[in-house]
Amino acid sequence: MILAITVVVPISMSYAADSAHKGKVVHKGKTKRQQKRLKINPLTEYENVWTANAETNVYQNSAFENITLGYSTTNGWDYGLSLLNTQFLGGNNQFQGDTFFSIAKTFDINDDFSIVVGSQNGLAIVNAHPQRWYNFDFLDSRYDATSWLSLHGGPYLANSAITGTSRQIALLMGTEITLMKNKLSLQMDYISGHDALSGATVNLLFNITPRSQIYMGLYVPEQNSGNEFAGIIGFNISTHNL
């Protein structure tokens, strides 16, 4: 199965672009873009595998599309390229999309425990002045407690462009529960803090075929994060059985 943390992120910018509502939202001299999706955790379970993901995030007044392509090598390296936060419904009259490149390395301690060190970096390609560089670095430890339960967690470091406040160090954690082997699973992830990254996602994943998967879920914002609730609908496809 794909183990992935997906985070809805409202990012504060110094330029005027409210991508979820018409007009501008000004707060302390800055314009705030509404919530964004940031996929930060790569597929690391298999080697020499390509994966692709398409996901729609539905908010109260808008909807965004996210596309991600990833590759896992035979020596523990994982790479990803994403075009995120492309709005197709709501009060937005211009193209907006954030491009991210991710890289991670997995260190296997034993058959059940591993550590992943990774970084995701990106920027808004168009309609962003001045440009802001997004950076998210993390260390994620993973433990397969049983054949049906996996746990993960660790610290992350995110810059102010992503958090919307200042550079932050906090924790990420989550679990995946297999409800029906090779068919149905429940994935839950949480990002600590009270900034733009903070909140939880809950997704129910269903394998249509051994190599294709759909999922539906909900994003629940953390208190004082300024985020909104969002519905999640996604599709995964892989060159290896999921």
Task: List helix spans (H) across the chain.
Answer: 160-163
Q: Smallest Cα–Cα separation from 35: which of 155, 187, 195? A: 195
Tell me if residue 112 falls in helix, strand or coil: coil
Q: What's the predicted TM-score (pTM) here?
A: 0.81
DSSP strands (E only) in the chain: 6-13, 26-27, 30-39, 49-58, 63-72, 77-89, 98-108, 113-124, 134-146, 149-158, 168-180, 184-191, 199-209, 212-221, 230-238
Looking at the predicted structure, is the pLDDT value of residue 164 above 60?
A: yes
Task: State the pLDDT at residue 45.
Answer: 64
- Residue 221, preceding peptide bond in cis (omega within 30° of 0): no
Burial class (CB in 10 A: 0-12, 13-18, 19+), 123: middle
Lookup result for tokens 């992350």: 156
Q: How far apart are CA 25 and CA 31, in angstroms?
A: 6
Q: What is the DSSP letter of 45?
A: S
Answer with the residue of higher pLDDT: 137 or 228.
137
Average pLDDT over residues 149-174: 92
Q: How far apart are CA 75 and CA 98, in angstroms?
A: 29
User: Tokens 């425990």 label which residue?
Assistant: 113
Tell me: the pLDDT tens digits for 100-114?
A: 999 999 999 999 999
Q: In what order do the strands lie in the sheet with 6-13?
A: 6-13, 30-39, 26-27
Q: How far is CA 70 from CA 56, 79, 97, in A?
A: 18, 6, 18
Per-residue pLDDT at 117? 95
Q: Tens digits of per-residue pLDDT, 21-74?
A: 333 333 333 334 445 566 655 556 678 899 999 999 998 888 889 999 999 998
Superfamily of domain 6-238: monomeric porin ompg (2.40.160.40)
Distance of CA 43 to CAs 5, 112, 178, Å?
A: 10, 16, 17
CA dist., res. 123 & res. 18, Å (int): 16
- Of 1-5, 40-44, 187-191, the poorest mean pLDDT is in 1-5
